Chain A
Amino acid sequence: GESVGLHLPTLSVQEGDNSIINCAYSNSASDYFIWYKQESGKGPQFIIDIRSNMDKRQGQRVTVLLNKTVKHLSLQIAATQPGDSAVYFCAENEGGVYGNKLVFGAGTILRVKS
């Protein structure tokens, strides 16, 4: 039969509210994590990164939290705006011989209602 497409989880938030997007990663040896945003018709755009020796990092309106115990990553967006509507991907660096091998999650759709 025909394969079905990915069914991405969707988060709908009201403009001005805070958004929390979650991600579970698989490799306990991963030491570097990144969040990307992808708008329609564009490639993934870097938002924020965090290394495994940290559990929190803040940027402009965004915060990434890392919980290595349960292999969980989250992205918090403060005062969500319509321009934040996009697909959000987490990625973990599984390393390898040359050190940089980013493996991406399936993504979460963020819809911001005005």
Chain B
Amino acid sequence: ETGVTQTPRHLVMGMTNKKSLKCEQHLGHNAMYWYKQSAKKPLELMFVYNFKEQTENNSVPSRFSPECPNSSHLFLHLHTLQPEDSALYLCASSQATATNEKLFFGSGTQLSVL
């Protein structure tokens, strides 16, 4: 148990569906992250939130929409995805982003887009 919980663990969706991924951290951290892990590429940073403010968008397509209502919760809203978006989506948290800090990861949501 890393203190970072992601739901659902598995998700299958069609290209016209709208779904959301949820992440919650119980570590008292102030920064949260979304990473994408696919079979074709190394772990890719998608978004960074620091004290609820988005501080990094790594050129992610607009069909992925993050939301961070507070420092403990992070969502990734998905709509009109493509089959190539199928991947493991990992959430992570850290104490802050202002210094060198290790990230704590959740177990991920395995997403399949049909």
Interface residue ranges, A against B (CB under 8 Å):
3-6, 31-32, 34, 36, 41-46, 49, 51, 89, 91, 93, 96-107
Contacts and interface: CB of A to CB of B under 8 A. Distances in A.
Interface residues of B, number: 29
Contacts of B107: 41-43
B16 interface: no
Interface in B33-47: 39-43, 45
B64 interface: no
A106 B105 CA distance: 17
A72 to B, nearest CB: 18
Q: Is the interface of A mostly helix, strand, loop or mixed?
A: loop
A43 B100 contact: no
Interface of B: 2, 4, 31, 39-43, 45, 48, 50, 55-56, 90, 92, 94, 96-108
A50 B96 CA distance: 18
Most B-side CB within 10 Å, residue of A43, A98, A106: A43
In the A-B complex, the 9 residue pairs with the smallest Cβ-Cβ separation, listed nearest first, are: A43-B105, A32-B100, A104-B43, A100-B97, A5-B39, A98-B97, A106-B42, A98-B55, A99-B98
Given A32-B100, A96-B56, A6 B43 contact: no
Contacts, number: 73
Given A100-B94, A101-B48, A46 B102 contact: yes
B40 A98 contact: no
Contact of B43 (A4, A45, A89, A98): A89
17 contacts: A6-B41, A6-B42, A43-B4, A44-B105, A46-B102, A49-B100, A93-B100, A96-B56, A98-B48, A99-B97, A99-B99, A99-B100, A100-B100, A101-B48, A101-B56, A101-B97, A104-B43
Contact of B45 (A51, A103, A106): A103
Given A43-B90, A98-B48, A98-B56, A51 B43 contact: no
